[in-house]
């Protein structure tokens, strides 16, 4: 295992997020490799850690003043052993090859866990939609798709949203794809309801992660009723995580964005949540504006000079990180334990550093890795693809029923795989082992391609 990791680190030395994601998976699957010596001979690790294809392109676009800008964009087509590449597009200034490769790598195992036929991919650009007009975002999306369209398709690669890519961006991207290809197909998921989107897709990642948390709690005869929960982020995933926690009787006390966080000791109820949805999705404002309306809450500005995030330092029972990678470090994890948290359920991708994860595993709390607990989003994207192929729309309760069933199955799959390899209750190991085994066996069935 060390030799593979060294090979990857030496080949692409700057890609620290990618190395982090690979290291976590390789550690978990060591017992699988020990039990299956042919995997080494077939170089499955070398193959699964190298993208099948990486596309990198420039995106020129014009702002409202007539000034031309150029952004860099990527699509990582990581693995197609079990289906067409599938994974989101991220528009954020931090986007680079390392971040997208880590996300694409995680996506491969996540998609395998859903049991749907989807390979793994991810893409995006260092374009920042924040502060841009709708017309600027549209011109950027059109220019982005003017290159990407030749590499994707409903049976090849089906992108979706991620940070900075919501219904508005998916609309502009789809419109350009349709014009260039002259075809109306399910090439993107996360579409609006009126033209091919699936009910429950916007809710799916957040709802799914809460369903997963409920399954974990049920193993200890507990529920979310009465539990105090910390939630980070205030975008798509966080909003619907909060919605479902409220429905399950929990009390959420935080929301954040990249500028800071609010702490509302009285709890965020459905009216307050509706305010946040309007603030973020329509007004595109900052979470600091929450205290203008609800003066009982406290706003704390993000402070990069601190080596911890104060959001994770409040008395609570459960934590639902829903913003971005590595947002919980070792100090944050220690603070969470000190404050009584006994469940961490990741809505974001890789929000916990390896040191933080070690603390969760040492303390034997209920810890769900994002590739299992946030798989509800891509699962319902898979259901959107199925509905598009059949040219049918399922009602909301049908999609929600399937989502619940998928999250229940993923939970059980993680538990079974962890038990089979002697690490019972370790959801991270279970998710990695189950996802890895499924993808690797498909790769071997298909020969050396
Ligand atoms: P959104 O763009 O809707 O929201 C992202 C939220 O996180 C915003 O509140 C944003 O604040 C905050 N944020 C983003 N980057 C940072 C940063 N560097 N530091 C602090 N805060 C940050 O994205 P989503 O809700 O869709 O995605 C959130 C996470 O969930 C990501 O990790 C994504 O990969 C993961 N995920 C999303 C899925 C989906 O279906 N949408 C599916 C599975 C995983 P600000 O507005 O200030 O940028």
Q: pLDDT tens, 300-318?
A: 999 999 999 999 999 999 9
Euclidean distance between the first and the last CA atom of the chain, given in angstroms as a whole number: 23
- Number of domains present in the structure of the chain: 2
Q: CA geometry: angle at 281 spanning 279 and 285, to 5°?
A: 40
Distance from the alpha carbon of residue 234 to the mean position of ligand 1, in angstroms: 8
Domain identity same for 95 and 165: yes
Q: Which of the listed residues 100, 257, 302 should we mutate to test ligand 1's pocket, taking the one with most ligand atoms within 8 A of CB?
A: 257
Distance from the alpha carbon of residue 99 to the mean position of ligand 1, in angstroms: 13
Distance from the alpha carbon of residue 257 to the mean position of ligand 1, in angstroms: 9
CA atoms of 260 and 348, how far apart (whole Å): 17
With tokens 């890789």, the residue in question is: 350
Q: Whose CA is nearest to atom 46 of ligand 1?
A: 257
Q: Counting atoms of ligand 1 from 1, which one is nearest the CA of 349?
A: 32
- 245 lies in a domain? yes
pLDDT per residue as tens digits for the range 61-90:
999 999 999 999 999 999 999 999 999 999
Q: Nearest CA to 311 among 376, 243, 252, 367?
A: 252
CATH code of the domain containing 126: 3.40.50.10860
pLDDT per residue as tens digits for the range 9-38:
999 999 999 999 999 999 999 999 999 999
CATH code of the domain containing 331: 3.40.50.720
Two tokens, residue 223:
């529920």
Domain identity same for 274 and 236: yes
- 440 lies in a domain? no
- 69 lies in a domain? yes
Q: Which of the listed residues 210, 233, 259 should we mutate to test ligand 1's pocket, taking the one with most ligand atoms within 8 A of CB?
A: 233
- Asked if 208 contacts 298 with a C-beta cutoff of 8 angstroms, the reply is no
Q: Nearest CA to 378 among 96, 99, 112?
A: 112
- Asked if 229 contacts 209 with a C-beta cutoff of 8 angstroms, the reply is no
Output phi, psi for 14, to 5 deg: -85, -5
pLDDT per residue as tens digits for the range 365-386:
999 999 999 999 999 999 999 9
- 288 lies in a domain? yes
Q: Whose CA is nearest to atom 33 of ligand 1?
A: 348
Give a three-class secondary structure readout of 196-207.
Answer: CCCCCHHHHHHH
Q: Is the pLDDT of residue 322 over 80?
A: yes
Q: Counting atoms of ligand 1 from 1, which one is nearest the CA of 350?
A: 32
Q: How confident is the model at residue 333 (pLDDT cuts 50, 70, 90)?
A: very high
Active site residues: 122
- 439 lies in a domain? no
Q: Counting atoms of ligand 1 from 1, which one is nearest the CA of 374?
A: 43
Q: Which residues line ligand 1 (CB under 6 A)?
A: 94, 161-164, 205, 233-237, 257-259, 322-324, 347-349, 374, 377
Domain identity same for 308 and 343: yes
Distance of CA 374 to the CA centre of its chain: 6
Mean pLDDT within 427-438: 98
Domain identity same for 73 and 222: no
Mean pLDDT within 133-144: 98
Q: Counting atoms of ligand 1 from 1, which one is nearest the CA of 205?
A: 40
Distance from the alpha carbon of residue 348 to the mean position of ligand 1, in angstroms: 7
Q: Whose CA is nearest to atom 4 of ligand 1?
A: 235
Q: Whose CA is nearest to atom 3 of ligand 1?
A: 235
Q: Which pTM value belongs to this model? A: 0.97
Domain identity same for 73 and 171: yes
- 299 lies in a domain? yes
Among 148, 183, 218, identify where a domain stops. 183
Q: Whose CA is nearest to atom 17 of ligand 1?
A: 258
Q: Whose CA is nearest to atom 42 of ligand 1?
A: 377
Determine what percent of the chain is predicted with pLDDT higher than 70: 100
**Which residues span the domain enclosing 209?**
204-373
- Asked if 119 contacts 81 with a C-beta cutoff of 8 angstroms, the reply is yes
Q: Counting atoms of ligand 1 from 1, which one is nearest the CA of 347?
A: 30
Q: Nearest CA to 213 among 116, 321, 105, 332?
A: 321
CA atoms of 103 and 126, how far apart (whole Å): 15
Q: Nearest CA to 213 among 317, 116, 312?
A: 317
pLDDT for 2 equals 81
CA atoms of 240 and 223, how far apart (whole Å): 18
């Amino acid at each position: 295992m060390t030799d593979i990791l060294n090979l990857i680190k030496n080949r692409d030395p700057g890609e620290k997020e990618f190395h982090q994601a690979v290291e976590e998976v390789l550690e978990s699957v060591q017992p699988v490799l020990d039990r299956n010596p042919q995997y080494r001979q077939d170089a499955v690790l070398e193959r699964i850690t190298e993208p099948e294809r990486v596309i990198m392109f420039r995106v020129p676009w014009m702002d409202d003043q007539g000034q031309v800008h150029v952004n860099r964009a990527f699509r990582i087509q990581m693995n197609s052993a079990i289906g067409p590449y599938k994974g989101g597009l991220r528009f954020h200034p931090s986007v680079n090859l390392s971040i997208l490769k880590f996300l694409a790598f995680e996506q491969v195992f996540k998609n395998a866990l859903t049991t749907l036929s989807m390979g793994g991919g991810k893409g995006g650009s260092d374009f920042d939609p924040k502060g841009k007009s709708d017309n600027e975002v549209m011109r950027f999306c059109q220019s982005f798709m003017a290159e990407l369209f030749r590499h994707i398709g409903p049976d090849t690669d089906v992108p979706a949203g991620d940070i900075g890519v919501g219904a508005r961006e998916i609309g502009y991207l789809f419109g350009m794809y349709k014009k260039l290809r002259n075809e109306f197909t399910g090439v993107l998921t996360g579409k609006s309801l009126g033209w091919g989107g699936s009910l429950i897709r916007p809710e799916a990642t957040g709802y799914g992660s809460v369903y997963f948390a409920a399954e974990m709690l049920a193993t200890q005869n507990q529920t979310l009723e009465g539990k105090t929960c910390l939630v980070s982020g205030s975008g798509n995933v966080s909003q619907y995580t909060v919605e479902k926690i409220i429905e399950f009787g929990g009390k959420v006390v935080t929301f954040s964005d990249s500028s800071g966080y609010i702490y509302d000791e009285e709890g965020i109820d459905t009216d307050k949540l509706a305010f946040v949805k309007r603030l973020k999705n329509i007004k595109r404002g900052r979470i600091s504006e929450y205290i203008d309306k609800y003066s009982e809450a406290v706003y704390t500005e993000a402070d990069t000079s601190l080596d911890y995030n104060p959001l994770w330092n409040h008395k609570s029972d459960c934590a639902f990180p829903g913003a971005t990678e590595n947002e919980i470090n070792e100090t944050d994890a220690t603070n969470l334990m000190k404050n009584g948290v006994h469940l961490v359920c990741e809505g974001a991708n890789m929000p916990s550093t390896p040191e933080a994860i070690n603390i969760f595993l040492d303390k034997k709390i209920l810890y769900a890795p994002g590739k299992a607990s946030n798989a509800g989003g891509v699962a319902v994207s898979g259901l959107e693809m199925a509905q598009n192929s059949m040219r049918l729309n399922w009602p909301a309760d049908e999609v929600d029923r399937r989502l619940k069933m998928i999250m229940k199955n993923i939970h059980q799959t993680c538990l079974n795989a962890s038990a089979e390899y002697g690490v019972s209750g370790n959801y991270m190991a279970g998710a990695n082992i189950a996802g890895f085994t499924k993808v690797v066996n498909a790769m071997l069935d298909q020969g050396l391609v």
